[in-house]
Amino acid sequence: MNEHIRRRESFKIHAGKLSIGGDAPISVQSMTNIPIEDTDRTITQIKQLESLGADMVRLAVRNEKGIEPLKKIIKSVNIPLVADIHFDYRLAVAAIEAGISKVRINPGNIGESWKVEEVIIAAQDRNTPIRIGVNGGSINRKKYSHPTPEALVDSALENIRILEDLNYTNIAVSIKSSDIFATIEANQIMAETRNYPIHIGLTEAGYGLNCTVQSSIVIGHLLLKGIGDTIRVSMTGDPKDEILVGRKILESIGLRYSPIKIISCPTCGRTATDIDLLKIAEKVDAEIHSNFEAVLRSADKTLTIAVMGCEVNGPGEASEADYGLAGGQNGKMLLFAKGERIKTVNITDAVNELVKAVSESI
Ligand code: SF4
C-alpha cells in the first residue's frame, strides 16, 4: 500500500478466493463481451483476462439458457466470476447454486420482496456476496430526473436497505455515471455513509485515449483519497485493454507491485537529431522486461531505468533511476547509474551495454 494513501476502512468480503475490502489489495475487474452461450470463446477470453492480471471477471447472464453454459464456465476457470443479473431472481439463485463467486443485482428491479428473499437464502447458504450496482440508468426515476450524486447515492441506499432489512450485509456497492464529477462525489458520499467495500469506475467512458484519461482521473482521484476496493475501467472494445489500463493505474500510484519502471524524457532541442529516443526507450523497455522481470519478481525488487535525450540534463533529471542512457553527440550515448556517468557508448551498442551493466548488478 502506498504510504501516502490513507485507505478508508471497509468490511472485508470474499468472492471465492478473492478478498475485497478491508486490507485486501485493490483488485482489477473486467467483463466478458461474448454471450456466455458461446461458451468456449468465453472461457478463452476469461483465461486471457486472467493472464493479463484480472482478479475477477463479470459475465452477463441474460436468461435461463445461460445457466448451463455458466456451470461449464465456472468449472473451467480458476478466477472468481461475477454473474450480472437483472430482473429475474431465479437466474440469481441458479447462478449462486452453480457456484458463482459473486452476484451483481439491484434488488429494486428483482420485484416482490419474497423474490429477493429467495436470492438472499441462496446467497447466505454459500456465503456469496452481492454487489449492488447503480449507474445513471438505474436511478429511481420516480424521484429523480437526473443522475445527480444525491440521486445515485439515494438509489444505491434504497437497494442496500432492501438487503439490510433481510439482515444481509455481505455486500459490495458500486455507483457509476458517465460524469466525472457526479461519480467522484457520489462515491465520496457513499464512502461516508456505509462501510461496504466499493467497486469504482466511470461508466460509458468511451474508448481508447478518451476512456483511459477519464477513467484514470476518476479511479485515481478516488484511490488517492482512500476510496475504492475494486476497480474497472469500462472501455468500448476488447476487455483486455480494461485490464491493462486498470493495472497501470494501480501500479502508477503504488497500489500494485511493478518490478520495472521505465522513465524517459519528452526530448527537446537539446536532443541530437541522430537520436530516436522513442525507439531506444521501447527497445530498453522490451529488453529490460525480458531479461530481468522474472528475477526481480522472485526477489521482490524494483528497478528504475531512465532513457534521456541529452547528457547535459539527462542524468541529473533522472538521478533517482538505478541505471540510464542519455543522448550525446556524434552517435554516442552516456551510460549512467544514480546520476553518475559510467561510460560513453555508441548508440548502436547502447541498449546492450545497459543490459550488461544491469545484469552485473543483480
Ligand atoms: S533530458 Fe535533455 S533532452 Fe530530455 S527534456 Fe531534459 S534537457 Fe531536453
Please check whether residues 43 and 137 belong to one and the same domain.
Answer: yes
- Residue 101, pLDDT > 70, answer yes
Closest ligand 1 atom to residue 310 Cα is 2
Contact residues of ligand 1, CB 6 A cut-off = 265-268, 270-271, 308-310, 312-314, 317
Does 1 reside within a domain? no
CATH number where 161 lies: 3.20.20.20
pLDDT reading at 56 higher than 70: yes
Q: Residue 172 pairs with which residues in a beta bridge?
A: 131
Question: Is the pLDDT reported for residue 274 higher than 90?
Answer: yes
pLDDT tens for 337-346 read 998 999 999 9
Number of domains composing the chain: 2
Q: What is the pLDDT of residues 280-312, one digit of tens each?
A: 999 999 999 999 999 999 999 999 999 999 999
Nearest-atom index, ligand 1, CA of 326: 1
The verdict on 226 and 163 lying in the same domain is yes
Which domain range does residue 49 map to?
13-252
* Ligand 1 atom closest to 268 (CA): 8
Q: Of 264, 267, 320, which is best to mutate to test ligand 1, by the most ligand atoms within 8 angstroms of its C-beta?
A: 267
Shared domain check, 176 and 30:
yes
Residue 169, pLDDT above cutoff 90: yes
Q: 148 and 108, same structural domain? A: yes
Kindly state whether residues 143 and 23 are assigned to the same domain.
yes
Amino acid at 306: A
Residue 1 reports pLDDT greater than 80: no
Q: Whose CA is nearest to atom 7 of ligand 1?
A: 313
| Average pLDDT, integer, range 220-240 | 98
What is residue 40's predicted lDDT score, i.e. its pLDDT? 98
Q: What is the number of helices (H) and of strands (E) in the chain?
A: 11, 15
Q: Confidence band (pLDDT; 50, 70, 90) for 255?
A: very high
**Strand pairing of 332-337 and 102-105?**
unpaired
> Average pLDDT in the 121-149 region?
92
138-150 residue pLDDT tens? 888 889 999 999 9
Question: 222 or 339, which is more confident?
Answer: 222
